[in-house]
A and B are shown apart, each in its own frame.
Chain A
């Protein structure tokens, strides 16, 4: 909202210039030949009022009176200047044309104008009024420029500069808003396209995995084991998609999770993996992971439990992995001799890597294999 017509405020808002700068420009143009007053009047008439806002702080009658005075002064200026006028008329014409187009860009119908302009200004009947105004504005800008150019041969370099300036301003007014809208529209379209592609990718993934698994589950209803295996495998895949795993490949956490996934698939048990901290694998840790995998397999095959918990923690100087089940358990001392699996593939492996294994088990009390490896 401004004082008289809100022209300064409106232009400041539109261009991003400070109000004071715009006002000073008008003042300078007024002192230098009266153009400022004429322009002010033009913009007052031509520029759109923002929706739901009164432009002026002055009461309506005062505003009308003021507008009348400005129009009279402008007419007077025109009358006195047209005869011998050099730059006044063409400049005014160009500004009028620019303002007409500007109004188009800022008005409520700019969306339609944009659509019309995007179809190369020529969509028949898209917005007849908008096209008319556009053509009229362009004509005025061109006319102004031509008039200036016509006089350029009789005047000096100054007129040439004016011509260039007026033409440039006219072109900027003509193309600027259109260009800005077009680029922002293109940006929005690109974002929309990316969103669409993401949706399509998720749909494809869901189709490939979830729907296939559901179909398989329906065909395997007679085998609870198979259903569990399918459901658990699918759950794992979805979790990876939804939550992602924090660790990258070649890390302890990822290796243990992969091992757990294999065991789940092969033996239709649930292996829950909790990892605190993470570290890149070296040979010793890879051996620890292989041993942990073997412990998971043993739990799945021999314990009778449906759930296996794996807990790994990376500390400053050690890495510990615990594999635990609540199954039938066994007497470690009694079976140690003939359980080559445990001796060779768990204990031997870890000890060669410089670590230790302790196994705790009791009949009926479940089993826990603890693997510790120095870092």
Chain B
């Protein structure tokens, strides 16, 4: 079973997630503050950390920075009520592997946790919308899957755009694969390439969003 660590400053919310996910994942610990979370994550070494954006003392960003590179096998999934692009983009750029909203159903959340644990990335429709917005006026990249130069991080390939559009329309990976006549594996590759571009791109919108949360 996937091991999960919960970070959220609301005890009620942690209890709710624990109860909902209890059957499908193993919750190895939880924390209400970034400091507590960093210490707990370093001792329990979970596969996935479910991370809230807004907490006292630096929020989810402080946890991502606190853990840093010391646990390469641990993946972070952001679980938040925030609608603000800068919150989401900032955490993705700091290393989170996905973003889902707190209104997600228990089953979908468990799916997302398992996908992240398996090395995948998770785009909610809203995150896909943010990304499309940020890359909207960028010229299309040549349809090569893997970015070769720095400039390639600032552009999306036509295929990546199509995948993002379908994600924004609420399609699951399997449905996207069927729609575009590609394998689910290929959809996953496109999604993780987009996430990488999101992290490494120097596009103005992304850096501005990040600057709003004091990351550069």
Are A and B co-members of a single complex? yes
Judge if B28 is at the interface, Cβ distance under 8 Å: no
Q: Which residues of B from 129 to 151 have beta carbons under 8 Å from A? A: 129, 132-133, 136
Determine the chain B residues whose CB is within 8 A of the CB of A243 once the complex forms.
82-84
Q: Which residues of B from 90 to 148 have beta carbons under 8 Å from A? A: 103, 125-126, 128-129, 132-133, 136
Judge if A344 is at the interface, Cβ distance under 8 Å: no
* 0/1 interface trace, chain A 45-83, chain B, CB 8 Å (1 if under): 000000000000000000000000000000000000000
Q: Once the chains are docked, how many angstroms separate the CA of A221 from the CA of B129?
A: 35
Determine the chain A residues whose CB is within 8 A of the CB of B129 once the complex forms.
274-276, 311
Q: How distant is A261 from chain B, measured CB to nearest CB, in Å?
A: 14
- Evaluate contact between A277 and B170: CB separation under 8 angstroms: no
Interface-central residue, B82, B132, B168, B169, by most chain A CB under 10 Å: B169
- Evaluate contact between A274 and B83: CB separation under 8 angstroms: no
Q: How distant is B166 from chain A, measured CB to nearest CB, in Å?
A: 9
Q: Which residues of A from 296 to 340 have beta carbons under 8 Å from B? A: 309, 311, 313, 322, 324, 326
- Evaluate contact between B126 and A274: CB separation under 8 angstroms: yes
Q: A274-B129, A276-B129, A277-B136 are in contact. Are A313 and B165 (CB under 8 A)?
A: yes
Q: How distant is A357 from chain B, measured CB to nearest CB, in Å?
A: 15
Determine the chain B residues whose CB is within 8 A of the CB of A277 once the complex forms.
133, 136
Q: Once the chains are docked, how many angstroms separate the CA of A368 from the CA of B83?
A: 24
- Evaluate contact between A274 and B103: CB separation under 8 angstroms: no
- Evaluate contact between A276 and B168: CB separation under 8 angstroms: yes
Determine the chain B residues whose CB is within 8 A of the CB of A313 once the complex forms.
132, 165, 168
- Evaluate contact between B169 and A324: CB separation under 8 angstroms: yes
- Evaluate contact between A272 and B132: CB separation under 8 angstroms: no
Determine the chain B residues whose CB is within 8 A of the CB of A276 once the complex forms.
129, 132-133, 136, 168
- Evaluate contact between B136 and A311: CB separation under 8 angstroms: no
Determine the chain A residues whose CB is within 8 A of the CB of B82 once the complex forms.
243
- Evaluate contact between A274 and B125: CB separation under 8 angstroms: yes
Interface contacts (Cβ under 8 Å), in number, total: 39
Determine the chain B residues whose CB is within 8 A of the CB of A272 once the complex forms.
125-126, 170
Q: How distant is A182 from chain B, measured CB to nearest CB, in Å?
A: 36
Determine the chain A residues whose CB is within 8 A of the CB of B165 once the complex forms.
311, 313
Judge if A239 is at the interface, Cβ distance under 8 Å: yes
Q: Once the chains are docked, how many angstroms separate the CA of A291 from the CA of B83?
A: 26
Determine the chain B residues whose CB is within 8 A of the CB of A100 once the complex forms.
none
- Evaluate contact between B170 and A309: CB separation under 8 angstroms: yes
* 0/1 interface trace, chain B 165-180, chain A, CB 8 Å (1 if under): 1001110000000000
| A311 touches which of B83, B84, B168 (Cβ 8 Å) | B168
* 0/1 interface trace, chain A 266-296, chain B, CB 8 Å (1 if under): 0000101011110000000000000000000
Q: Once the chains are docked, how many angstroms separate the CA of A303 from the CA of B83?
A: 27
Q: Which residues of B from 12 to 61 have beta carbons under 8 Å from A? A: none
Determine the chain B residues whose CB is within 8 A of the CB of A324 once the complex forms.
169-170
Q: Once the chains are docked, how many angstroms separate the CA of A270 from the CA of B170?
A: 13
Q: A243-B83, A275-B129, A276-B133 are in contact. Are A270 and B169 (CB under 8 A)?
A: no
- Evaluate contact between A322 and B169: CB separation under 8 angstroms: yes
Q: Once the chains are docked, how many angstroms separate the CA of A243 from the CA of B81?
A: 11
Q: Once the chains are docked, how many angstroms separate the CA of A368 from the CA of B168?
A: 13
Q: Which residues of B from 71 to 92 have beta carbons under 8 Å from A? A: 82-84
Q: How distant is B82 from chain A, measured CB to nearest CB, in Å?
A: 8
Q: How distant is B42 from chain A, measured CB to nearest CB, in Å?
A: 33
Q: Once the chains are docked, how many angstroms separate the CA of A272 from the CA of B167?
A: 13
Q: Once the chains are docked, how many angstroms separate the CA of A267 from the CA of B202?
A: 43
Q: Tell me the B residues contacting A by CB distance below 8 Å.
A: 82-84, 103, 125-126, 128-129, 132-133, 136, 165, 168-170
Nearest 3 A-B pairs (CB), nearest first? A309-B170, A274-B129, A311-B169
**Interface CB pairs A-B, < 8 A, 18:** A242-B83, A243-B84, A270-B103, A272-B126, A274-B168, A276-B136, A276-B168, A277-B133, A277-B136, A311-B125, A311-B129, A311-B165, A311-B168, A311-B169, A322-B169, A324-B169, A324-B170, A368-B169
Q: Tell me the A residues contacting B by CB distance below 8 Å.
A: 239, 242-243, 270, 272, 274-277, 309, 311, 313, 322, 324, 326, 368
Using A276-B129, A276-B133, A276-B136 as known contacts, list a sample of 13 further A-B pairs with CB atoms less than 8 Å apart, ordered by residue number in A.
Answer: A242-B83, A243-B82, A243-B84, A272-B126, A272-B170, A274-B125, A276-B132, A277-B133, A313-B132, A313-B165, A322-B169, A324-B170, A326-B170
